[in-house]
Amino acid sequence: MTAVDWNLIFDNWGIKSVAPTDKSKQAYVLSAEQHAAVIDADIAPSLERPATPITVVTPLSPYRQTVISSFYNAKRSAKASREPEPRMGRELIRVWLQVNDAVLIGNIGQTLYAIKIDSVENMTTAEVMQEIARRSPHSMVLALALEAAAGPVRKDVIRSEFARNPYVVAAALHRAQNTCEMPGCVAKLFERDDGSSYLEAHHIIPLSEKGLDSLDNVAALCPHCHRQQHHSRDRVALRMQLKNYIESVF
């Protein structure tokens, strides 16, 4: 279960799993909390058919930053005893969401967001906020930044971390011989006080993915290549390239 505190991020939010009927009818039925978020974003149900398109920000989706959706109330007969269900359609449910996806829909002001819960596994609240800020409209980000307090808020943090073997790290740095171990790296390394090149130890298969804290799973990388391994859109291919290289020299 994710440890993200959504109340620190969104004005309103709700989580619901996509039902088979949502997908088959291509109409996602909102929970009460999700409905409140859409309304608070100042989005009114469309009276037109087809419904008016709206933009939903998808800040944790690796390949796209927004999806097009719509917001409307299902039609009910005059004799129906239930209120019309609020629904979202178009690309959001037709393409982006799949059956059993747990999806959060929330708002920050008038900006509406959708996040698949499995995409935030092992992420902290701060990391999620950083990704949301990076993908959000500039005007909204600027307004929130200007509202921020001048001094940082101090907080106590309790967290668990993997204990890494210092000898494995040291052996990888020795093996690298002051050179980034990513094949093809052309970054210019800077020197430490002792004259050695600055390199960072990187677990090729992360410990969080049950990777081993062993020399054949650790590479010495420059800061640029290290960040690429974690954040590049090509990170899966880059991981395999690095893994193959380390196995060849180990």
Q: How many CB atoms lie within 10 A of CB 25?
A: 14
Tokens read off for 237: 């291919």
| pLDDT in the model for residue 80 | 54
> Over 60: is that where the pLDDT of 25 sits?
yes
| pLDDT in the model for residue 1 | 47
Asked if residue 1 is part of any domain, the answer here is no
For residues 13 and 122, state if they share a domain.
yes
Local confidence band at 155 (pLDDT 50, 70, 90 cut-offs)? low
For residues 63 and 178, state if they share a domain.
no
112-129: per-residue pLDDT in tens? 999 999 999 888 898 899
For residues 140 and 198, state if they share a domain.
no
Rounded Cα–Cα distance for residues 30 and 17 (Å): 10
For residues 124 and 175, state if they share a domain.
no
> Over 80: is that where the pLDDT of 228 sits?
yes
Asked if residue 158 is part of any domain, the answer here is no
For residues 193 and 245, state if they share a domain.
yes
Mean pLDDT of the chain: 89
For residues 140 and 186, state if they share a domain.
no
Over residues 38-57, mean pLDDT: 95
| Nearest C-alpha neighbor of 235 from the set 244, 225, 245, 246 | 225
Over residues 32-42, mean pLDDT: 97
| Nearest C-alpha neighbor of 222 from the set 194, 195, 248, 198 | 198
Tokens read off for 5: 């505190």
> Over 90: is that where the pLDDT of 145 sits?
no
Q: Out of 91, 111, 144, pick the residue that ends a domain.
A: 144
User: What burial class does residue 28 get, using C-beta atoms within 10 Å of its C-beta: 0-12 exposed, 13-18 middle, 19+ buried?
Assistant: buried
For residues 225 and 124, state if they share a domain.
no
> Over 60: is that where the pLDDT of 43 sits?
yes
Tokens read off for 62: 């690796």
Local confidence band at 77 (pLDDT 50, 70, 90 cut-offs)? low
Q: Which residue has the tokens 């609020």?
A: 86
Over residues 16-23, mean pLDDT: 97
Q: Is the dihedral of CA 104, 110, 111, 112 positive or negative?
A: positive
For residues 60 and 103, state if they share a domain.
yes
| pLDDT in the model for residue 79 | 58
Asked if residue 42 is part of any domain, the answer here is yes
For residues 232 and 176, state if they share a domain.
yes
87-104: per-residue pLDDT in tens? 999 999 999 999 999 999
For residues 137 and 170, state if they share a domain.
no
Asked if residue 150 is part of any domain, the answer here is no
Tokens read off for 88: 């979202």
Q: Give the range of the structural domain holding residue 232, as residue numbers without chain letter.
A: 166-249
Rounded Cα–Cα distance for residues 41 and 46 (Å): 14
Q: Out of 89, 112, 144, pick the residue that ends a domain.
A: 144
For residues 186 and 227, state if they share a domain.
yes
β-strands 66-73, 111-116 pairing:
unpaired
CATH code: domain of residue 237: 1.10.30
Least-confidence region, from 164-168, 174-178, 204-208, 218-222 = 164-168
| Nearest C-alpha neighbor of 185 from the set 202, 207, 206 | 202
More confident residue, 87 or 155: 87
pTM score of the predicted model: 0.67
Tokens read off for 156: 């106590």
For residues 105 and 15, state if they share a domain.
yes
Number of domains in the chain: 2
Asked if residue 244 is part of any domain, the answer here is yes
Asked if residue 40 is part of any domain, the answer here is yes
| pLDDT in the model for residue 62 | 79
| Residues found in the chain | 250
156-201: per-residue pLDDT in tens? 766 656 667 777 888 899 899 999 999 999 999 999 888 889 999 9
Rounded Cα–Cα distance for residues 34 and 39 (Å): 9
Q: Out of 144, 175, 202, pick the residue that ends a domain.
A: 144
